[in-house]
Amino acid sequence: MSNAGMDAEVFEQFLIQLERFVRDRLIPVERKIIETDLIPESVLEAMRDMGLFGLTIPEEHGGAGMNISQYIRTMHTLSYAMPAFRSIISINVGMFASAFKNGGTEAQKAAWLPRIAAGEIAAFGLTEPGSGSDAAGLQTTAVPTADGWLLNGTKRYITNSPFAKVGLIMARTATENLPKNAHISAFIVPLDIPGVTICKSDRKMGQSGSHIADIVLEDVHVGSEALLGGELGKGFAFAMMSLDNGRMSVGAAATAYARRALDSAIRYATERKAFGEPIANFQLIQQMLAQSEIEIYAAECMMDDVTRRADAGENILRKAAAFKVFATEMCGRVVDACVQIHGGAGYLAEYDAERFFRDARIYRIYEGTTQILQLQIAKHMLREFAAAN
């Protein structure tokens, strides 16, 4: 992402417009999405018209060309609404756009980025039944043919795969495990070609309207132009370059959703009466409200700091991981307090508190679990200490 990004004034106007869109268009359809498990096509069209599928894609390829802080602030604004809306655009503007910008050939960028910016949905295929955080266990294979590649394997928990037109699929191009995961290459696979099966959407704890499903590849033939960047063994590296941005995006989403839960708890506490007065007058309720506010503020400060550093070109691996861990764990505490403030009503599906609680749980798991990120942060701290002493 170029650090200059969109014109600052134009961007601020866009954010005001997006806030209004979230309030007037997205939040009112949430109940319908919970019932149908689908975002209405009219809402998707409105999201395409606003350019939400191309936020990070360079302007010459039809996107908005946002820098990192603009992109993360946009995700934060959008994520005040239910998670399905960020989810549907997240792969386009995250992993997919990033991998293409970092590693795509000019021909590949010209062929795919305008389509993605216009709102064709992309999927990203790394995780498998036997490997997630551990890329060395990757089993999907890509074998060279006379005029391209033959892919075989299964990808699991693939976000947006039921709606996606194209997948960026990670596959083995070497049988043995090589340093820096150079045995993995990335392939651009249209998902409507022979041999590709998209399985039934998995049923999930929360996050209605967002879908994950397995992608099964059986003797899928792609041309030689499908190899991202035209280079073997670079796929994993291209994909991992965007991990920091993905973690910041999830951190921003968790921060915004915590704010939504707190707003709902405040409203409930001022309306609900017990012992003849609003429960908001009770000090232990006030303590939960105040503690939530304190933690959300801390996450907002981390978000501002880490995105500013990212745009300045700093290595933010550790800080992006720290923000993601803090914001997602914080969101878990805030949605829990929101249920507690609602009391018995917080356990009922008719109140939003119950779904906030379920929706927020995944934030601590995807884009790096809390535990994997804690290990990564510690490893970097210890490496730095050893180098300095």
Write the CA distances from 232 to 174, 229, 238, integer angstroms.
Answer: 9, 8, 11
**Could you give the CA distance from residue 218 to residue 74 in angstroms, rounded to a whole number?**
38
Name which of 293, 295, 294, 317 is nearest 306 in CA terms.
317
Name which of 157, 86, 87 is nearest 126 in CA terms.
157
**Could you give the CA distance from residue 312 to residue 250 in angstroms, rounded to a whole number?**
21
The residue from 128, 295, 354, 367 that is catalytic is 367
Active site residue 367: yes
H or E element, residue 94 = none
**Residue 26 gets which letter from DSSP?**
I
Name which of 219, 221, 91 is nearest 146 in CA terms.
221
**Residue 144 gets which letter from DSSP?**
E
Write the CA distances from 85 to 27, 324, 366, integer angstroms.
Answer: 10, 19, 16
Residue 304, token pair as written in the block: 């501002």
Asked if residues 18 and 77 have their Cβ atoms less than 8 Å apart, the reply is yes
**Could you give the CA distance from residue 336 to residue 343 in angstroms, rounded to a whole number?**
11
Pairing of strands 184-190, 166-172: antiparallel
H or E element, residue 286 = helix 283-311
Q: Which residue do the tokens 């708890």 mark?
A: 265
Q: Which residue do the tokens 């007065």 mark?
A: 277
Residue 241, token pair as written in the block: 């370059």
- CA 92, 216, 211, 94: dihedral to nearest 10 degrees? -20
H helices then E strands: how many in the chain? 13, 9
Write the CA distances from 173 to 136, 152, 181, 184, 187, integer angstroms.
Answer: 13, 11, 11, 6, 11
**Residue 81 gets which letter from DSSP?**
S
Residues serving a catalytic function are 367
